[in-house]
Amino acid sequence: ARLEETVKKTVAENPVVVYSKTWCSYSMEVKALFKRIGVDALVIELDQLGPQGPQLQKVLERLTGQFTVPNVFIGGKHIGGCTDTVKLYRKGELTPMLSELNIN
């Protein structure tokens, strides 16, 4: 589908992508983490896209197996949600991943 191609293009062309919802605290946490470590993430707020939001959320599920937000991609690779991202950060594995992409 065309939306699927859009997502693939987005995560390929942007080193850090967060599919988020503005009023979701888990989404806020992951956005705040990237901000705190100086990473300029591309944030797509699914609740601000009208009917395209739910469509995108289904496409993301098809592509990644994950329906929930936040949905995080680094270097085109699907990372997971808030818990996964924070876990990587605490294990010290997030920063090397970002350095490899020259974005930290």
Ligand X SMILES: N[C@@H](CCC(=O)N[C@@H](CS)C(=O)NCC(=O)O)C(=O)O
Q: Which residues of this chain interact with ligand FES, rule CB under 6 A?
A: 24-26
**Is 95 one of the binding residues for ligand X (CB under 6 A)?**
no
Cα separation, 93 vs 37, whole angstroms:
13
Cβ of residue 59: shortest distance to its own copies, in angstroms? 18
For tokens 């996964």, the residue is 84
- Least CB distance to ligand X at residue 72 (A): 8
User: Interaction with its own copies in 66-95: which residues (CB under 8 A)?
Assistant: 68, 82
The dihedral region occupied by 74, where left means phi > 0, alpha psi between -120 and 50, and beta the remainder, is beta
Non-local (6+) Cβ contacts of 78 within 8 A are: 11, 63, 64, 66, 71, 72
Q: Taking contact as CB under 8 A, which single stretch among the options 7-15, 17-25, 58-66, 89-97 is the one that binds its own copies?
A: 17-25
Instruction: List interacting residues with ligand X (CB under 6 A).
Output: 21, 23-26, 68-70, 81-83
